[in-house]
Amino acid sequence: MKKTLALLVILALFSGCSTTTVAKNFNGLDTPAGKAVHVSTSNIALHLLMTKPLAGDASLEKTVADFTAEAKKEGASKVRIVQSNCTKLWFLLPPITFVITPVLSNVAGDAIS
């Protein structure tokens, strides 16, 4: 029981986090669509019953919104999403994680100006 509680506390501390990484060095090359910057956005959250955000929001919709907001900051007028995923970690500590589920999501792609 103490281990389960400790794990939930650790997950709660890191939930609601959003990180974005930007890579600008394309060695002088352009994409077919124009000048690009590669952007990767990740969100970590705790969701209720795998769907409702409790601490943070790691839904794919929210992660795409964060990705496009960062692309706008980089001066992009278009984006091309190369990869996206949303992982629900319900299998970590059943039945607890059936109710309070850690969720990880990522969207990566090019911000094109």
pLDDT digits (tens, 9 = 90+) for 67-87: 999 999 999 999 999 999 999
d(CA 71, CA 81): 11
Tokens (6 digits) for 84: 């996206």
d(CA 81, CA 106): 11
pLDDT digits (tens, 9 = 90+) for 12-71: 666 678 899 999 998 888 888 888 999 999 999 999 998 899 889 999 999 999 999 999
Domain spans in the chain, listed from the N-terminal domain onward: 2-112
